[in-house]
A and B are shown apart, each in its own frame.
Chain A
């Protein structure tokens, strides 16, 4: 039975050795009424015990370095180890964010060069590295849209999102003070143009899109969509979660997007860390540039780098300091390592791997797990578990849990909402053909087993540190901290 670090606490044990008090005591320094009466009940434990505790916990995690992790929409590609080495260089790691720019030229130059590279990759000239993650990048995008319209004296109230959108899109729209209007999806998986035309008017501030979208398909009508939006003076926002599909092939700036966010923890391989950190830089067109967050990293005429706070039309700032610099170091190392040729190859191989896996699954499991959209996919694809549920009596959830017993991380399940019993599969480019074959064969085996005895998958997993957990109980009577 697992034990928390608090439960390992024994009074009197310790790890920290305080430096000696080398100055006179000043017992009047803090008046009694401000003083904490009782020390917080943090653990009392030795260093070896702390190390052992967290080491043991770590072994309960499945992770990318261990095995295949085809989580759709998340781009679980390999995390190069070089990145940890360069991020740890003291010149980067121990640099205070408020250090005078003249003494942070290395950091500012790195940020500048990263901006230039990201601008080129997305085809939009002006980049802000400030947003902390994709969601914050989206909020920046919505606020930039608002500032853009208000600067023209316009007050619009609606933002359009496709019904396939990731939940962050509508959530962000609400936080930005707009009303969400959903746009339908056509049979081929792209935006329903008729529905879009019906809902577009001059009270629409923006359309938020992902392309390729969450169904893994490239919207062939993107130029038409851009025209429709620009004709009413609205902005077009690109959710860059799926950028891994198109590097070197197409750029959102060329498709007509005004604002793009990148997920550095997806396309640019910042390690996912169990949920974060990440970074969500944005790139914008000329007409949006004046509103970018403050400060902007700039290169001056004399070749030096600085932080420009003098931006009167800026929306302001969304967070402290300059953004997640530690993430920038890693992502820039990646861009330098791959270069133009490598980035293009990454996308090509991501798309190749996805189509190959889709073909293999169609071949081995197509009857029970058909593709949701019968067309070439990009870097990810969606299967529906509806037929499997009907014919074999196991759901997508059961398949996912049984995959754990086969040492695979399952794909994303039950998203996008549009597809019944959805499985969203993104292999990424760093997987070998053999791994993809093994996965397809593993799925096929689970289906064969279910045909014989569906109860096995329904009770899975069996070989993991814990079995299926009571999530309803956790939601009904939440216990969110250790009782002390």
Chain B
């Protein structure tokens, strides 16, 4: 069986002799009798590699992935094309199998990747300091909250209803235990209600959380909202879709303190939700208070340029209960995919991709609005995702579309009672005009069929 060990009986005999023990069992003598497992682990015996492969392949075959259907599902993760150079480079043992760069002299590959990644994120967000990743999007939002807490110790978070539901829930899970309340700022139509935000701001607000574009795909007016949010010195945290930053004004253009977001779109697979990475960028003044690993440039004993983990005194292994965060891992392999992808896209590519998304999304919006029984949920500017209302039960419509090999999008009713008839539709560069036409055709037919079913 594949156990990857090599100790033979002869090895064991010689080793036990060196140790001075009679048997391997003796090595476990410290475990009290009463807690010893006196039976084998109740799992099947090991299997040869080919059987394991076959089993997992059969499980994969029972999933309908973006390989099997035309996917317009977004809501936080997107079916972008991952170029093959990412796979090739990530499969290198040198990137795949080492751990955190505790010995920088033999980790310059990893450390320089982190440094380049940090630079790329700073560029995208237009904020000067970035860490070397957090786990993923929603928990990065929660981590920004914890940082605000350490920064100003105030009692309230104000969170837009247009922030991703998972990010909102990550805040309501993690903040009250450390004493900060989480209050929702309602929508006005499909964007954050600026008046409600203005009303809610006082000097006990620790941080304000917005999303750009928001969960409904709408572009928020940060120029209007940012000064309101920061009126009393609260931190402004914006969760941003990195794929839109080729065409959309970046958070650093506004009075944003922290930009976070989900990095999956940047060169990482869907993988049913993970692993991916969360990015975290901030203004210069927060550098010594940020969570996560940070790579810094330096020189070695010969004056040669090199990189090290720096500002480690923020971290748990040194500051322990006073650490800026408990995080240890960084999503380094996923960050590598991200920086390779951003280099592959390049300065022009990210703009071209953004433009492509803009035009295709506009086209898709018009196409769907042209279907009977489908209307736009909002007409706010969008970049790559938009919402429609269906004149038939959304779940039923989705099922009909699935039968036709199309996944039309996310049922908003799952998270928003007021949008029970809503569908969130996402575009990537992989959704061609033909795909969009097919979506309109199939969605239109599905809605029509469902309406008929009702009247019949």
Contacts and interface: CB of A to CB of B under 8 A. Distances in A.
A455 B296 CA distance: 28
Contacts of B40: 248, 340-341, 344
A47 B349 CA distance: 13
A167 B319 CA distance: 8
B136 interface: yes
A366 to B, nearest CB: 13
Given A348-B24, A481-B122, A107 B135 contact: no
Interface in A157-182: 166-168, 170-177, 180
A106 B62 contact: yes
Contacts of A9: 347
A78 B51 CA distance: 20
B1 to A, nearest CB: 5
A76 interface: yes
Interface in B353-397: 353, 355-356, 358-363, 381-383
B299 A470 contact: yes
Interface in A92-115: 92-100, 103-107, 109-110
Contact of B24 (A23, A90, A337, A352): A352
Interface stretch (B66-74, B152-160, B189-197, B439-447): B66-74
Of A57, A168, A180, A464, chain B has the most CB atoms within 10 Å of the CB of A57
Contacts of A51: 85, 88-89
A465 B88 contact: no
Given A29-B362, A250-B31, A461 B110 contact: no
A342 B77 contact: no
A376 interface: yes
Given A15-B346, A91-B65, A61 B98 contact: yes
Given A40-B250, A100-B402, A474-B308, A376 B63 contact: no
A199 interface: no
A139 B174 contact: yes
Contact of B96 (A34, A96, A273, A332): A273
Nearest to B42: A120
Of A43, A94, A168, A170, chain B has the most CB atoms within 10 Å of the CB of A94
B75 interface: yes
Interface string B83-115: 101011101111111111111111111101101
B346 A338 contact: no
B3 A342 contact: yes
Interface in A41-81: 41-45, 47, 50-51, 54-55, 57-66, 69, 71, 74, 76-80
Nearest to B281: A481
Contacts of B216: none
A117 B123 CA distance: 44
A401 B105 contact: yes
A152 to B, nearest CB: 16
A14 B249 contact: no
A317 B108 contact: no
A9 B293 CA distance: 26
B48 to A, nearest CB: 8
Contact of B47 (A23, A104, A256, A339): A339
A42 B343 contact: yes
A324 to B, nearest CB: 4
B112 A4 contact: yes
Given A168-B326, A474-B310, A61 B109 contact: yes
Nearest to A472: B298
A322 interface: yes
A154 interface: no
A266 to B, nearest CB: 10
B274 A1 contact: no
A277 B331 contact: yes
B456 interface: no
B225 interface: no
Interface residues of B, number: 211
A454 B78 CA distance: 56
A430 B4 CA distance: 6
Contact of B327 (A64, A135, A376): A135
A167 B317 contact: yes
A251 interface: yes
Interface in A320-358: 320-327, 329, 332-333, 335-346, 348-349, 351-353, 355-356, 358
Contact of A174 (B47, B322, B362): B322
Contacts of B350: 39-40, 42
Does more than half of chain A's interface fall in helix, strand or loop, or is it mixed? Answer: loop
Given A100-B398, A274-B100, A277-B331, A54 B340 contact: yes
Nearest to B123: A40
A370 interface: no
A392 interface: no
Nearest to A76: B99
Interface in B22-57: 24, 26-32, 34-37, 40-47, 49, 51-53, 55-57
Interface in A11-54: 13-16, 18-19, 21-26, 29-31, 33-37, 39-45, 47, 50-51, 54
Contacts of B223: 33
Interface residues of A, number: 207
B311 interface: yes
Given A177-B178, A274-B95, A60 B313 contact: no
Given A42-B350, A321-B77, A355-B27, A480 B271 contact: no
B353 to A, nearest CB: 6
Contacts of A251: 35, 37
A111 to B, nearest CB: 9
A36 B246 contact: yes
A312 interface: no
A474 B172 CA distance: 37
Of B269, B299, B353, chain A has the most CB atoms within 10 Å of the CB of B269
A51 to B, nearest CB: 6
B41 A95 contact: no
B62 A1 contact: no
Interface in B298-326: 298-302, 304-308, 310-313, 315-323, 325-326
A268 interface: no
Nearest to A36: B249
B387 to A, nearest CB: 15
B126 to A, nearest CB: 8
A481 B97 CA distance: 25
A63 B92 CA distance: 10
Given A42-B347, A57-B113, A76-B99, A18 B15 contact: no
A246 B31 CA distance: 9
A217 B110 CA distance: 32
28 contacts: A23-B362, A36-B351, A39-B246, A54-B95, A63-B96, A91-B67, A95-B64, A96-B65, A106-B60, A132-B329, A171-B321, A273-B333, A274-B107, A275-B293, A277-B329, A320-B77, A320-B138, A340-B46, A344-B40, A348-B24, A353-B15, A376-B29, A404-B105, A429-B7, A466-B108, A469-B105, A469-B299, A482-B115
Q: Nearest 3 CB-CB pairs, A to B? A: A91-B60, A321-B273, A97-B273
Given A39-B351, A248-B40, A478-B310, 10 more contacts: A21-B356, A47-B344, A57-B113, A110-B59, A167-B323, A171-B319, A293-B173, A342-B2, A343-B43, A469-B306
